[in-house]
Amino acid sequence: MEIKSVGIVGAGQMGNGIAHVMALAGYDVRLNDISQDALDSAFALIGKNLDRQVSRDKISAEERDAAMGRIKTTLSLADVAQTDLVIEAATEREEIKHKIFEALLPDLKPETILTSNTSSISITRLASRTDRPEKFMGFHFMNPVPLMQLVELIRGIATDKDTYDACLAVVGKLNKTAASAEDFPAFIVNRILIPMINEACYTLYEGVGNVQSIDMAMKLGANHPMGPLELADFIGLDTCLAIMNVLHDGLADTKYRPCPLLTKYVEAGWLGRKTQRGFYDYRGETPVPTR
């Protein structure tokens, strides 16, 4: 099956990035959200990010204009359901994802492939509540989508080869690289990355080092481009906690127990960059550690 149109559910940080790269690669894109303000903001941000690529000679002005012309925003899930490939990029809460797929089902074309950009939730379980588990898989982009080269492709227990091959071809057309992952909690990247962040939280919680020393140690000692606590703020502390809970619940191993300090920050609403406070305070000219 040749995929020509892509529907994206969720116009947040991940959804607008996916729309950006899909439109630039030549796909007709329908971007959906429950809020018109969110759609307007996403469309404006995509334009701004494409302008930045033009200014850096990554793309031409003609390519930018063509990409913007391929993106249509909609409040209707029925519009999204009529595309060849649907990518769900809503918040990392399983019950919300189930509701989205259930709402899509009545209007889907028989050949439409369903995918989720989930970073940790079982693909098999999400697929089981649809009418096409064989045409369902995980399509996990990294953030920020336009810059990051990797896409995790996750097959559920029922995903067929044609579905995998069709999604693999899309990744190739995006000039990105696919990593195939089995359907276990958090897949590959977050199975390794988020427990590292959680361990950094424990290192802070136990007073081994402060925020600044922990991040500096990993940047200069392990050559990481960002420290783990700085990265946690970038990802969102609520997302980090959600993934740790998926690992803890799904694998029943105490080594995945979320750090109490991470839980406390999330309870305080200090979720990182998106709320202006996390392990750093972003309300001034330069980020200041909060601990």
Exposure on the CB side of residue 267, measured as CA atoms within 13 A: 6
SS (H, E, C) the chain: CCCCEEEEECCCHHHHHHHHHHHHCCCEEEEECCCHHHHHHHHHHHHHHHHHHHHCCCCCHHHHHHHHHHEEEECCHHHHHCCCEEEECCCCCHHHHHHHHHHHHHHCCCCCEEEECCCCCCHHHHHHCCCCHHHEEEEEECCCCCCCCEEEEEECCCCCHHHHHHHHHHHHHCCCEEEEEECCCCCCHHHHHHHHHHHHHHHHHCCCCCHHHHHHHHHHHCCCCCCHHHHHHHHCHHHHHHHHHHHHHHHCCHHHCCCHHHHHHHHHCCCEHHHCECCEECCCCCCEECC
5-182 matches 191-289 in fold:
no
Cα–Cα distance measured from residue 201 to residue 210, given in angstroms and rounded to the nearest whole number: 10
SS (H, E, C) 133-199: HHHEEEEEECCCCCCCCEEEEEECCCCCHHHHHHHHHHHHHCCCEEEEEECCCCCCHHHHHHHHHHH
Cα–Cα distance measured from residue 155 to residue 149, given in angstroms and rounded to the nearest whole number: 20
Domain definitions of the chain by residue range: 5-182, 191-289
- Please say if 20 is a catalytic residue: no
- Please say if 140 is a catalytic residue: yes
**What does the pLDDT profile of the chain (291 residues) look like in tens digits?**
789 999 999 999 999 999 999 999 999 999 999 999 999 999 999 999 999 999 999 999 999 999 999 999 999 999 999 999 999 999 888 999 999 999 999 999 999 999 999 988 999 999 999 999 999 999 999 999 999 999 999 999 999 999 999 999 999 999 999 999 999 999 999 999 999 999 999 999 999 999 999 999 999 999 999 999 999 999 999 999 999 999 999 999 999 999 999 999 999 999 999 999 999 999 999 999 999
What's the CATH superfamily of 191-289? N-(1-d-carboxylethyl)-l-norvaline Dehydrogenase; domain 2 (1.10.1040.10)
Instruction: Read off the tokens for 11.
Output: 């116009």
> What is the model's pLDDT at position 19?
98
Q: Which residues are annotated as a binding site for NAD(+)?
A: 10-15, 33, 92, 97, 119, 143, 274
- Please say if 119 is a catalytic residue: yes
pTM of the model: 0.90
Q: Which of 5, 16, 32, 190 is catalytic?
A: 190
What's the CATH superfamily of 5-182? NAD(P)-binding Rossmann-like Domain (3.40.50.720)
Q: Which residues are annotated as a binding site?
A: 10-15, 33, 92, 97, 119, 143, 274
Look up tokens 């080092």; give the residue.
Answer: 209
Neighbouring C-beta atoms of residue 29, cutoff 10 Å: 25
Q: Which of 116, 152, 198, 230 is catalytic?
A: 152
Please check whether residue 115 is in contact with residue 86, taking contact to mean a CB–CB distance below 8 angstroms: yes
Q: Which of 32, 140, 198, 230 is catalytic?
A: 140
Instruction: Read off the tokens for 210.
Output: 């402060």
> What is the model's pLDDT at position 169?
97
Q: Which of 119, 120, 122, 198 is catalytic?
A: 119
